[in-house]
């Protein structure tokens, strides 16, 4: 709900847990009075905005006299919805427009309050805008929006600051839209999505940093005076730092304390910036990274910044995670079968890499069936001259000398399986027909040496002709073969960010336009093929973000399938993203047993990557047992359940988590060790069950009440287990 108290010039956004107060001050600047746990009302604004002593003063040049500003406002100390630039506030404005004076000051003109949230025209946004194509419910009635219209003091540039609050989950969406109503082009040097100023800074920042094969390792940094940035400048959301971050009060844990999560519905360069000033205000700005960004906005044009998402919890980390999980499932993912069961997947990559033919793939399909496979995916190597990673990218036609796609698909269908295929649409090898025909399609200046990564270059997706070419090639495959799934890869960072197509004066637009090209192609494909499920991927989990999830209901979490790393990666990823979005496969890496690897993969969208011809009868039985459990429990307990983290692998010698179906009838619990552990008193208090109900535990076949399991706990004291060993336990309500 959003109310405007006209006399107090105050706006109150609230739901059952959050209050967010904004004050339109005497100078028409938007001051953030309060953001946090719900308040029934807010009085004494003066006491809240009080700072140190005297009001801000200015010199009136016409009279050459000094005046004091009315009220408590002080640039650089007041908490604001959008800081000025080029005045006294040096904390970092979210928006900078190039101009002679070097000043930017947006002042309130009007506001509009409405039910629902309006879609962005150019970017994925929190509204299910594809719902006109698909028959999916959208949750417009559960969200309210206020749009403040502000005008830049000295120019005809307007800014719409949009704030939406969900009623059924503790989520706030913020973004800015710029409108150039002058008769000249303007240049944006920084266009972030939000600002949030808080009056205290004693938080710990959790960030998820890493690299290929080691995505999203948890790092905790206590905020200190100065600036901390979490960012990407490599053209994709990246392995290095994920756009999901959160702030937690120092004493917060899974169940207690204030926790504020942030994410961005965007897949390119981003920057989360936390600035603690000498007054110990915390000034957060979040949005697109301004490095190498410069955008020319013509007269009459608009520029939309991506939506930033804030998840608020006064009840610990898990509530913050659960808000994000529900928001992503209900308000971001547009794949219209998303709430349905996701099939057990077999991916050919780690079993044979590029080395396959029709017969070997058919033998894979037949053996994959024995371990419960329902969707067979042919990974890299099926197209052009792609027999290794030095050639073929860009040539999306079947390598008929290598294999027969139709026979492979028929074999899948005869075995009752769906069929999926790999594409890497945004990339090209110099050794490809596409490059030979169109060297100008590549990003980077012609004649210049270009940095290679995995022997490949990026296509210039700022150029619509390039995107059309790839769309047409993909269309020919997708129109002519029965394909149920695409794995969409992206195996390099952007290095030389120069576009021949955009030409002079527009090079600061390259990074953002590349992301728009990516979304544009996805958009065309999902509209044409709404039944094809697309799994995102970028050298493993290098593009695991909300922008990608808008189109791709699942994302390959990491190329590292070894359970030692996967335990950490899946844990951290599950703090910000739903389990059902995380591709998780069993491989034949030497560390860990098939039992442990499969029971870990159970906590994602379950699949395999190995040579299935080499599996023994016993291994087949182990893997199929987990596949059967996945089939029984995934949709209810994992896909649409509520996740609770019981212990973190970063803080303990084991990892535990539990997921509970919405009706509280079924639950799954995972216990996985990092090191060998001996018998000791070990009670795990479960969460989210029905206190009065009785549950049968698959661990000891005993029946417990929900109250017992939540107050005394599941007793795993007798366990003596080696490193990287799992116990997967199911609880089912009995009558």
d(C-alpha 502, C-alpha 278), whole Å: 43
Token reading at 538:
């970028």
Distance CA 114, CA 627 (A): 47
Instruction: Please report how close the Cβ of residue 254 comes to ligand GLA at its closest, in angstroms.
Output: 31
Q: Is 618 exposed, middle or buried (0-12, 13-18, 19+ CB in 10 A)?
A: exposed
Cβ contacts of 555-559, under 8 Å, gap ≥ 24: 555/581, 555/582, 555/583, 556/487, 556/583, 557/215, 557/582, 557/583, 557/584, 557/604, 558/213, 558/214, 558/215, 559/212, 559/213
Catalytic residue among 431, 460, 493, 559: 559
Query: How many other C-beta atoms can be found within 10 angstroms of the C-beta atom of residue 329?
Result: 18
Is the distance from CB of 408 to CB of 447 less than 8 angstroms? no
- Rule CB under 6 A: which residues touch ligand GLA? 349, 379-380, 422, 489, 491, 537, 539-540, 556, 559
Catalytic residue among 489, 493, 545, 624: 489
The smaller minimum CB distance to ligand GLA, of residues 429 and 539, is found at: 539
Both tokens assigned to 289: 């990274």
Of 197 and 559, CB closest to ligand GLA: 559
The residue of the chain with the least Cβ separation from ligand GLA equals 380
The answer to whether the CB of 258 falls within 8 A of the CB of 36 is yes
Q: Which of 538, 536, 604 is nearest to 566 (CA)?
A: 604
**Helix, strand or coil, per DSSP, at residue 130:** helix
Per-residue CA distances from 117 to 147, 550, 621, 688 (Å): 10, 16, 49, 31
The residue written with tokens 């116990």 in the block is: 727
Nearest to 536 by CA among 318, 319, 270, 328: 328
| Beta bridge pairs of residue 423 | 488
Largest CA distance in the chain: 93
- Quick count: other Cβ atoms within 10 Å of Cβ 665? 17
127 neighbors 138 (Cβ within 8 angstroms): yes
572 three-class SS: helix
In DSSP terms, 705 is beta-bridged to: 694
DSSP annotation of 356 reads -
Please state the φ and ψ torsions of residue 359, each to the nearest 5 degrees.
Answer: -65, -45
Backbone angles phi, psi at 304, to 5 degrees: -95, 130
Q: In three state form, how does the secondary structure of 379-404 look?
A: CCCCECCCCCCCECCCCCCECCCCCC
CA distance 377 to 375: 6
What distance in Å separates the CA atoms of residue 336 and residue 460, rounded to the nearest whole number? 30
Which is nearest to 243 in space by CA: 198, 279, 273, 212? 273
The angle, 0 to 180 degrees and rounded to 10, between the axes of the packed helices 358-369 and 405-414 is: 20
Distance CA 643, CA 321 (A): 8
Give catalytic status of residue 559 as yes or no. Answer: yes
State the Cα–Cα distance between residues 4 and 164, nearest whole angstrom: 14
Q: How many helices (H) and strands (E) does the chain have?
A: 13, 40
Q: For the residues of 675-698, what is the DSSP string, one character each?
A: S-B-----EE---S--TTSEEEET
How close are the terminal C-alpha atoms of the chain, in Å? 41
User: Residue 447 class from Cβ within 10 Å (0-12 exposed, 13-18 middle, 19+ buried)?
Assistant: exposed
Instruction: Give the span between the Cα atoms of 397 and 380, in whole angstroms.
Output: 13
Q: Report how far residue 730's alpha carbon sits from residue 697's, in angstroms, rounded to the nearest whole number.
A: 6
Q: What are the tokens at 581?
A: 């979005």
Active site residues: 489, 559
């Amino acid at each position: 709900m959003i109310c405007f108290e006209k006399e107090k010039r105050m706006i109150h956004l609230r739901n059952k847990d959050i209050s967010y107060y904004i004050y339109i001050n005497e100078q028409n600047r938007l001051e953030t009075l309060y953001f946090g746990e719900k308040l029934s009302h807010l009085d004494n604004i003066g006491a809240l905005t009080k700072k140190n002593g005297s009001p801000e003063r200015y010199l009136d040049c016409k009279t050459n006299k000094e005046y004091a500003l009315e009220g408590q406002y002080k640039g650089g100390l007041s908490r604001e919805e959008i800081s000025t630039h080029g005045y006294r506030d040096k904390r970092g404005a979210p928006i900078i427009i190039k101009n002679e004076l070097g000043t930017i000051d947006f002042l309130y003109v009007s506001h509009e309050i409405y039910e629902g949230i309006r879609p962005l025209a150019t970017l994925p946004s929190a509204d299910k805008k594809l719902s006109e194509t698909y028959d999916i419910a959208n949750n417009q009635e559960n969200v309210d929006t206020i749009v403040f219209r502000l005008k830049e003091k000295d120019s005809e540039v307007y800014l719409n600051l949009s704030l939406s609050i969900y009623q059924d989950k503790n989520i706030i969406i913020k973004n800015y839209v710029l409108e150039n109503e002058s008769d000249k082009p303007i240049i944006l040097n920084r266009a972030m999505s939000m600002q949030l100023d808080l009056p205290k800074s004693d938080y710990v920042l959790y960030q998820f940093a890493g690299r290929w094969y080691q995505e999203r390792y948890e790092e905790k940094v206590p905020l200190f005076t100065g600036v901390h940035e979490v960012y990407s400048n490599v053209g994709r959301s990246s392995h290095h730092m994920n756009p999901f971050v959160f702030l937690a009060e120092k004493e917060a844990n899974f169940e207690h304390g204030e926790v504020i999560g942030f994410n961005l519905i965007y897949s390119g360069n981003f920057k989360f910036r936390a600035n603690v000033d000498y007054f110990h205000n915390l000034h957060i700005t979040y949005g697109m990274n301004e490095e190498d960004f410069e955008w020319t906005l013509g007269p009459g044009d608009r520029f939309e910044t991506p939506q930033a998402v804030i998840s608020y919890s006064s009840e610990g980390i898990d509530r913050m995670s659960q808000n994000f999980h529900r928001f992503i499932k209900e308000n971001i993912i547009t794949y219209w079968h998303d709430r349905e069961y996701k099939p057990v997947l077999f991916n050919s990559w780690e079993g044979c890499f590029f080395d396959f033919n029709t017969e070997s793939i058919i033998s894979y399909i037949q053996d994959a069936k024995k371990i419960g496979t329902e969707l067979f995916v042919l990974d890299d190597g099926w197209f052009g001259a792609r027999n290794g990673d030095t050639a073929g990218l860009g040539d999306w036609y079947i390598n008929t000398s290598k294999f027969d796609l139709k026979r492979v698909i028929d074999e899948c269908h005869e075995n009752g399986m769906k069929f999926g295929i790999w594409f890497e649409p945004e990339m090209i090898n110099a050794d490809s027909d596409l490059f030979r025909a169109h060297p100008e399609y590549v990003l980077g200046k012609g004649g210049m040496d270009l940095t290679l990564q995995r022997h490949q270059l990026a296509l210039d997706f700022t150029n619509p002709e390039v995107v059309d070419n790839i769309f047409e090639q993909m269309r020919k495959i997708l129109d002519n073969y029965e394909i149920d799934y695409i794995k969409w890869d992206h195996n390099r960072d952007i290095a030389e960010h120069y576009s021949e197509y955009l030409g002079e004066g527009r090079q600061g637009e390259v990074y953002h336009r590349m992301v728009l090209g990516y979304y544009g192609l996805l958009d065309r494909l999902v509209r044409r093929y709404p039944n094809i499920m697309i799994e995102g991927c970028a050298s493993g989990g290098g593009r695991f973000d909300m922008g990608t999830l808008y189109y791709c209901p699942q994302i390959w979490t990491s190329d590292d399938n070894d359970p030692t790393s996967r335990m950490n990666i899946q844990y951290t990823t599950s703090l910000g993203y739903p389990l059902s979005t995380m591709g998780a496969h069993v491989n034949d890496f030497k560390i860990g047993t098939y039992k442990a690897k499969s029971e870990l993969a159970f906590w994602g969208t379950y699949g395999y990557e190995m040579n299935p011809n080499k599996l023994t009868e016993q291994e087949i039985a182990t893997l199929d047992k987990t596949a059967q459990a996945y089939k029984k429990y995934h949709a209810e307990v994992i896909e649409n359940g509520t996740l609770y983290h019981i212990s973190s692998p970063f803080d303990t010698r084991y990892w535990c988590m539990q997921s509970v179906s919405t009706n509280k009838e079924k639950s799954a619990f995972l216990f996985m060790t990092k090191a060998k552990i001996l018998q000791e008193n070990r009670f795990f208090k479960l969460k989210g069950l029905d206190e009065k109900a009785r549950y049968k535990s698959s661990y000891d076949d005993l029946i417990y009440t929900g109250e017992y399991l939540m107050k005394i706990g599941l007793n795993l004291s007798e366990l003596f287990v080696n490193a990287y060993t799992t116990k997967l336990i199911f609880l089912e309500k009995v009558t």
